[in-house]
Structure 1
Amino acid sequence: MATEAVLLGRGQEAQYLQLALGNRHGLIAGATGTGKTITLQVMAEGFSRAGVPVFCADIKGDLAGLSQTGSPNPKVESRAAELGETDFAYEATPVILLDLFGRQGHPVRATVAEMGPLLLARLLELNEVQEGVLNIAFKLADDEGLLLLDFKDLQAILAYVAERADDLSSRYGHVSKATIGTIQRRLLGIEQQGGEPFFGEPALELGDLMLLAPDGRGAVSILAADELVRSPRLYATFLLWLLSELFEQLPEVGDLAKPKLVFFFDEAHLLFNDAPKALIDKIEQVVRLVRSKGVGVYFVTQSPQDLPSSVLGQLGNRVQHALRAFTPTDQKAVRVAAETFRPNPAFKTADVIGEMGVGEALVSMLQPGGVPAIVDRAKILPPRSRMGAITAEERKALIERSPLKDKYDQPVDRDSAFERLNARTTSVEEPSPREVPSAPTRSNDPWGGAFRRSQPTASAPAQASAPAPAARRTAAAPPPVQGGSILDDILGGGGGRRQSAGEALVKSLARSVGSQVGRQIVRGVLGSIMKR
């Protein structure tokens, strides 16, 4: 069973999450302080041990404890034995730290072109008219071969649209300078919130979220989000962009023996707060269709009613921690949570939801064949890694010894819309492209070059995918390289190959090929499904 499922805990029966059904998505819900984070940690460890890479956001700063071996504790060991974990042992999980701001992990970036007008409109809280003008800016950039890569490119194209407002109105539709001014002020707000560094190059390659350790365990990519969540729209927009990128770039694989990646979406209610119906419909489509790409999405929130029913109905693996019913609204949330489970004749689900203690949960996992199990009141296993935050020194050591060290650390600023438009105001001659700065070099890959890209199982090979839309990335998976133990990898050693500056330029040009041929850019969460 251990090779086919992840043990989560035990109630009347042992509760397993079937790996073959891990891409059927899931929900972890419960009030603050009831144990959601520990459940997420146990799930992440279980998927990692099964060879499934994991991505999650660290809202409170304690999920990074996955990277450290747990401290011996007789109570923890006794509980693990009681719940049937016969091979329980304290161990660290292979972890890669990421951070949009680049302070607590490797910087994460996306180009403006990849983010696309729909998600940018969501981030900037634009209305339909303002979003339409933003679409015109993107179309103009396509038509004139202007690359939209970083924040100043977006600012430059908006200024260019305002300058040519009268001319563009006859070609693309009405463009108001006042509307442009509103968008520019919203951009200023994002800049003041610290969001500017997110836009640029080198952009994140999805393959780096699907690494396997030398012993076959999946790497857990942890996004530092304790600061990011203070800008909830930026947080939700980034995770939605990442999810849509997975949908758009990964090939169809059907049902695998285990997922290619599990994606935990913490504070999931932020994704749907004040979202227009059109965006919710597209989110529902992405969640439904990304399953066939081998990706499992697990939403983490306080109550199931935080999610639209169209999304909630797609979540087959469910863990519900306690909810407190102090108000009529709370009581309604309890009833909604109880109604999402298949009833157990041994107890009344709605009553149990308010009675459970910390570390207890109502669990209903999909069984072989995809049938939801009868809900069970279970105690959740303790994690093998540290339950708590890591020190600044431990974080620094992880970053220094990461397989992604130096790959994303230095931004690349190449010739794009800002430079081209700025040059037009100073010279009649077309400027020649600037040389791409070389990335820093290093002699050794701290994790021994042994981490490799996760691949589909032999029983369900990846199918050929359709041509990628404009400004999309493709990356070939490097061949497997043998290495030492995961603790050796975490603690150092070895050598490997990095992407050269020339390769970075070629990939960047490939991302922007749509702009060069004048194709309309349709990006972000819409991706290819906008054309359906």
Structure 2
Amino acid sequence: MAGEDSIFIGASRKPDDSYQQPEQLLLKYGNRHGLVTGATGTGKTVTLQILAEGFSNAGVPVFCADIKGDLSGIAMMGEAKDFLVARAEAIKLDPYEFQEFPVIFWDLFGEQGHPIRATVSEMGPLLLSRLMNLSEAQEGIMNIAFRIADEEGLLLLDMKDLQSLLANIAGRADEIGARYGNVTKPSIGAIQRSLLVLEQQGATHFFGEPALKIADIMRTTRDGRGAINVLAADKLMMNPRLYATFLLWLMSELFEELPEVGDPDKPKLVFFFDEAHLLFDEAPKALVDRVEQVVRLIRSKGVGVYFVTQNPLDIPETVLAQLGNRVQHALRAYTPREQKAVKTAADTFRPNPDFDCAKAITQLGVGEALVSTLEAKAVPSMVQRTLIRPPSSRLGPITPEERKKLVAESPVSGQYDETVDRESAFEMLQKRAADGLKAEEEAQGREQEEDTGRSRWTIPGFGDDDDDGYTPSRNSRSRSTSRPRASNRQSVAEAAIKSVVRSVGSSVGRALVRGILGSLKKGF
């Protein structure tokens, strides 16, 4: 049904309730981003699956998160189930062929796929502060820590590197505070406690080496199909902040590493962000601005970003305005907020005179959606009520045995399985502390050798300042150093008096000797 330059999404519904007109997504505008929304159970995951299939067949690599495990079936051949065949006939999908797709499974915890790691330096202070929900003052200290690491050549690779650096900064708080501003030990302690919480939540599996190479998620097969990278996120969702921060980091890495390509004939990579509301929940403005910047500029890198969420209100307006391809599944309108969401979703579409868009959103069945994609010259198409095509791959999860086999046969098997712990800030700071301790011990040893080499008994007046001939111990000397040291210089008057005394003393001495000797002579 789809040509080489487009992806077949489904068939639009006509006034007579038949589905005839094909709805397609032009590959040329695949990097103009997109949005897939709808209530739970309305078919968002299947829509994500058929879009990933279409991009893969077009030679475009895909990265997506598998929240419930349902998306893993894309790696296996589909099966001809009655309701799938019936849908294919309704939209005149002929032939309806089944196929399996090249899938690489990833998992931050390394349990259901290849481990994904990033270094602390790559994550950066802004995303780390977001991940740990730090205050403004604590975020400032985090920025100082990264600055010091750069200045002193300390590699920040894993959690223990950052923890040891913060401990080092706490010991040098006065020195560092004089250069960069106030650095308080309580704030550093709060950051350390947040790091401990992250550690308990499994973040140690994510921070480290070998770090993920962007090229490994942009692979294509020999037959020209793009690899579908599936991130196992069922366990990761237990820590939604880590999930959102990781995906934002990945988008940022793509933005920084990929070259400018302008508007290619098809995207270089398509990125699906499932449960996208987690990225924006309680997010500071600086982070939302960062997301908007990445979404706006990454298009020129040939990357398409597709947000998947329940409610269009979950996406900030500044980001929502960048999303050109839209698939809206059914929404419920029981509460005022839900009614507002329906109106917002309806207002974002180019109106269709054949039906009331807001009313249709609440009446869509499972597998139906309102679809609007970019047409020629990137103009949004008129919204159409569309029956989404059935997937060609398996609908539902694969077995653990099938997953294990696919992981073992993966093109990146063995590259990320073992952790590498090279010399970084933790080891360098430990070595620095050990060298300082060794130098101190050597200095103390030299002092002890000097004390041992000095005789306890001396001849008064010959090279010893102590009148009693006793050489004081090191401790007694160190205590006496607090007294002012007497000057070795003497005034002219003092020198004259000492000379007279010595002369008088010498004369008196000689007279006494002569007198004694004379008396002795007289006695003989």
So what's the TM-score if we normalise by structure 1? Answer: 0.80
Q: Which whole-Å CA distance do the structure 2 matches of 1:70 and 1:331 have between them?
A: 37
Counterparts of 1:85 and 1:46 in 2: how far apart (Å)? Answer: 14
Letter of the 1:104 partner, please give it. Q
Partner of 1:8: 9
Asked if residue 165 in structure 1 is aligned to residue 173 in structure 2, the reply is yes
| 1:229 CA drift (Å) | 1.0
Whole-angstrom distance in 2 between the partners of 1:7 and 1:427: 66
Q: 1:226 aligns with which of 234, 238, 256?
A: 234
> In the aligned structure 2, how far is the partner of 1:196 from the partner of 1:255?
39
Equivalent residue number for residue 34 of structure 2? 26
Unaligned runs of 5+ in 2: 15-20, 439-524
Shift of 1:429: 9.6
Residue 423 of structure 1 and its aligned partner are, at CA, apart by 1.6
Which string of whole-angstrom CA distances, capped at 9 and with x for unpartnered residues, describes residues 53-88 of structure 1? 000000011111100111122432232233233342
Residue matched to 1:292: 300
Alignment partners' CA distance in 1, 2:66 and 2:150: 37
Q: Which residue of 2 aligns with 1:148?
A: 156
Q: Is 1:95 the counterpart of 2:103 in the alignment? A: yes
- For 1:78 and 1:389, the matched residues in 2 are separated by 22
Residues 483-507 of structure 1, C-alpha deviations (whole Å, 9 max, x = no match): xxxxxxxxxxxxxxxxxxxxxxxxx
Counting only pairs closer than 5 Å after superposition, residues 111-130 of structure 1 correspond to structure 2 as 111-130=119-138
Q: Determine whether 1:57 maps to 2:65.
A: yes
Corresponding residue of 1:243: 251
In 2, Cα distance between equivalents of 1:398 and 1:346: 47
Q: SS at the partner of 1:122?
A: helix
Aligned residue in 1 for 2:476: none
The residue aligned with 2:358 is: 350
3-state SS of paired residue (1:425)? helix
- Structure 2 counterpart of 1:305, which letter? L
Match of 2:315 among 300, 307, 312: 307
Q: Determine the C-alpha separation between the residues in 1 that align with 2:93 and 2:165.
A: 58
1:282 aligns with 2:290: yes
Structure 1 gap segments, 5+ residues each: 431-532
Computing the radius of gyration from Cα coordinates, the structure with the larger value is 2
* SS of 1:254 mapped into structure 2: coil
2 CA distance for matches of 1:137 and 1:277?
23
Is residue 40 of structure 1 aligned with residue 48 of structure 2?
yes
Paired residue type of 1:387: L
What is the correspondence of 1:105-504 to structure 2 with a 5 Å cutoff? Answer: 105-428=113-436
TM-score normalised over the length of structure 2:
0.81
Partners of 1:85 and 1:175 lie apart in 2 by 65
- 1-structure distance, mates of 2:139, 2:198: 16
Extract structure 1 runs of 4+ deviating beyond 6 A: none
* 1-structure distance, mates of 2:81, 2:280: 40
1:69 corresponds to? 77
Q: Alpha-carbon deviations, 1:340-365, whole Å to 9, x = none?
A: 11111001001000011100000001
Identical aligned residues as a percent: 61
User: What SS class does the counterpart of residue 355 from structure 1 fall into?
Assistant: coil
What value does the CA root-mean-square deviation take over the aligned residues? Answer: 1.1
Q: Which has the higher helix share?
A: 2
- CA–CA distance in 2 between the matches of 1:234 and 1:332? 30
**How far does the alpha carbon of each residue in 1:244-303 deviate from its partner, in whole angstroms, 9 at most, with x for none?**
000011000000010000000000000011111121112101100000000000000011
* Higher alpha-carbon deviation: 376-385 or 85-94: 85-94
Opposite residue 35 of structure 1, the aligned amino acid is G
Deviations 1:293-326, CA, capped at 9 Å, x for gaps: 0000000001111000000011000000000111
Distance in 2 of aligned mates of 1:127 and 1:403: 42
Summarize deviations over 1:166-202 as a string: whole Å, max 9, x none.
Answer: 1100111110111000000000111111111100000
Aligned residue identity for 2:120: V
1: CA distance, partners of 2:397 / 2:29: 31
Secondary structure in structure 2 of the residue aligned to 1:216: coil
Whole-Å separation in 1 of the counterparts to 2:243 and 2:144: 26
Give 1:52's aligned amino acid.
V
Partner AA of 1:407 in structure 2: Q
Q: CA deviation at 1:112?
A: 0.4
Q: CA separation in 2, counterparts of 1:305 and 1:46?
A: 27
Q: What is the alpha-carbon distance in structure 1 between the residues aligned to residue 117 and residue 60 of structure 2?
A: 24
The structural deviation recorded for 1:37 is 0.2
Q: How many residues align?
A: 430
* 328-337 vs 47-56, which moves further: 328-337
How far does the alpha carbon of each residue in 1:363-395 deviate from its partner, in whole angstroms, 9 at most, with x for none? Answer: 001102100011000100010111111111011
**Partner letter of residue 219 of structure 2?**
L
Distance 1:429 1:113 in 2: 29
